[in-house]
Amino acid sequence: MDFNKVHNVYFVGVGGIGMSALARYFIYLGKVVCGYDRSETKLTKKLVSEGINIHYKDDVNLIPEIFNKDKKASIIVYTPAIQEDHAELNYFIDKGFKMYKRAEILGLITSNYKTIAVAGTHGKTSVSTIAAHIIKQSNLACLAFLGGISKNSNSNLILPETRSAEEVVVVEADEYDRSFLQLNPYIALITSIDADHLDIYEDKADLVNSFEHFVKNISQNGILICKNNINLQVNSSVKQYSYSLEDTADFYASNLRMNKNGTYFFDLLTPKGVIAGLETGMPGKINAENAVAAAAIAHLSGVKDEVIQAQLKSCKGVKRRFDFQIINKNFVFIDDYAHHPEELRAFITSVKEIFPDKKITGIFQPHLYSRTQDFADEFALSLGILDKLILLDIYPAREKPVKGVSSKIIFDKVKLDEKIMCAKNELLMHLQDDKPEVLLTMGAGDIDKLVEPIKEVFSFQ
C-alpha cells in the first residue's frame, strides 16, 4: 500500500493495545486519525491528547464527515474482537470503504522495514519491549509496535530519531486469530508455545501448526531464535539459535544471581563469546529469561556488547508486567497482566523467590469463559502456589456467557486452605480487614482499574 495516498484512518476499536499503537503511527505520518471504542480509559484519554478524535457510542452519525467526503483517501482498520453486528463496522462495509484487519495493516507497514518479530503464547511483550529499548539506543534506527506500554517511553509505539532506509522494526507477533502470519520477519524469536486461544485453534496441534507457518515466513537467510524446549520445522536457509537460562542453548546465562531488589545479574554466553556483567532493569527470574532472549536479538542484530550491557539495565520494563506499585518493609503490592496458567506459575514463582519469608496473597480475575473452561485444572495448579487466593468473577471480554462456566470451576479445584471468592465491589473492604504482606493483582481484564483504589487503601502502611 502507498500510504502517501491515504489521508484519513478510522479505527473501530481504537483503544486496544495493538490498535492504539497503529493509530499513533498514523498520527506520526501526519494522517487524520479517528476512531470508536466502547469505553473511555487512560489510554484513550492519552490518544485524544495526542490528536486522535475518539467517541464511545456505536453510532454512524458520530463518524466524522471527512470519511464520507474523502472516501478514496480513507481506510478503515478494525480489530477481530469487534462484534459482527457492530453498526459502524457494517456501515463502512456497506459503503464500500477499504477495510483492513489490524494484523493486515501491521503486515503492510512492516513490509517496508527489516522486521524483528517476537512471538509466543507468553513473554512476547516483555521481550519485544526490552529488545526495542536496546536497539533504539544503538546505531540502528528503530521503530517498534509493542503489546504493552513501555515504562521508558510511556507508549506502545517507539519511534526512531530520524527516518532511514535502513530502519528496523520490532513487533509483537500475535498468534491470536493467526495474526502473525501477516508478517515476514528477518529475525523471529519464539518464547513459548503453550495451548491457548482454543476458541480460535482446534487444539494445541493446530496452534503448533500455525507457528510452523509463521517460521516459514522468515525471509531467506533470516534468523530464528527459540527457547531451548521448542522444536519447529524450519527452512534450510534460516539460521537457528536457542536461548535459555541454562547451559543447554546457544545463548544462556551463567553466574545468575539475584539482587536485593529482585533484579538479576548474569553473564551472557553467546556463540561468539561472553557478554559479562549484565543486569536486568526488571525484577523477577522470569525477566532474567526475557532479558537473555532480548539480548540475543540485539546481539544478532549487530548491537555492540557495551550497548547491550548499558541498555539492558536501563530498561524499566512494561506497565502491568511485574509492576511494583508499593514496596516497603511492611507491604508489597505488584500488578501483573498474567492470564494464562503458565504466566501465573512463572509470575507467582518469581515473586516467591524474591520474598521467600512473606505470605503471598493473589487476586486473580479470569479472562474469557472459553479459557476458564479449557484450563480450569491448570489454573488451579498455578494459583495453588499462592498462600492465599482471592478469586474474582470472569471478565468476558469479547465473549458471551457459557452455561455452567464461572470462576467457581477454578475455585473448587484450588488446593489451598485460604481461598475466597469475592465480588469486585467487596474487595477493598476485605483487603482492609485482611492486611496482606505481599499482594498480587493478576489478569488481563479490567482488574487494572482496581490498582489505584488498592494503592489508596495501603498508602499509609
CB 181 within 8 A of CB 217: yes
| Beta strands 142-150 and 155-158, pairing class | antiparallel
pLDDT top residue among 177 and 96: 96
Radius of gyration of the chain (CA): 22
Q: pLDDT tens digits for 305-364?
A: 999 999 999 999 999 999 999 999 889 999 999 999 999 999 999 999 999 999 999 999
Secondary structure of residue 49 in the 3-state scheme? helix
Q: pLDDT tens digits for 407-425?
A: 999 999 999 999 999 999 9
Q: For residues 71 and 287, what is the distance between their CA atoms, to the nearest angstrom? A: 46
Angle at 185 between CA 197 and CA 294, to 5 degrees: 80
Q: Helices 285-300 and 305-314 sit at what angle, rounded to 10 degrees?
A: 150
Q: Helices 17-28 and 42-49 sit at what angle, rounded to 10 degrees?
A: 10
CATH number among 3.30.70.980, 3.40.1390.10, 3.40.50.720, 3.40.50.620, domain 3-102: 3.40.50.720
Q: pLDDT tens digits for 74-102?
A: 999 999 888 889 999 999 999 999 999 99
Q: For residues 461 and 457, what is the distance between their CA atoms, to the nearest angstrom? A: 9
Fold of 113-314: UDP-N-acetylmuramoyl-L-alanine:D-glutamate ligase (3.40.1190)
Question: Which position has the grid cell 495516498?
Answer: 5
Q: How many CB atoms lie within 10 A of CB 400?
A: 7
Q: Quick one: pLDDT at residue 176?
A: 85
Does residue 7 carry a pLDDT above 70? yes
Query: Phi/psi of residue 94, each to 5°?
Result: -65, -35
Mean pLDDT of the chain: 94
Q: For residues 431 and 77, what is the distance between their CA atoms, to the nearest angstrom? A: 42
Q: Helices 124-136 and 305-314 sit at what angle, rounded to 10 degrees?
A: 120
Q: For residues 94 and 185, what is the distance between their CA atoms, to the nearest angstrom? A: 34
Secondary structure of residue 432 in the 3-state scheme? helix
CATH 3.90.190.20 fits 323-458, yes or no: yes
Q: Quick one: pLDDT at residue 435?
A: 85
Sign of the four-CA dihedral 33, 36, 37, 40: positive
Q: pLDDT tens digits for 30-45?
A: 999 999 999 999 999 9
Q: For residues 280 and 176, what is the distance between their CA atoms, to the nearest angstrom? A: 29
CB 63 within 8 A of CB 94: no
Q: pLDDT tens digits for 240-299?
A: 999 999 999 999 999 999 998 899 999 999 999 999 999 999 999 999 999 999 999 999
Query: Phi/psi of residue 224, each to 5°?
Result: -120, 130
- What are the boundaries of each domain within the chain? 3-102, 113-314, 323-458
Secondary structure of residue 171 in the 3-state scheme? strand
Q: pLDDT tens digits for 353-410?
A: 999 999 999 999 999 999 999 999 999 999 999 999 999 999 998 888 999 999 999 9
Q: How many CB atoms lie within 10 A of CB 271?
A: 10
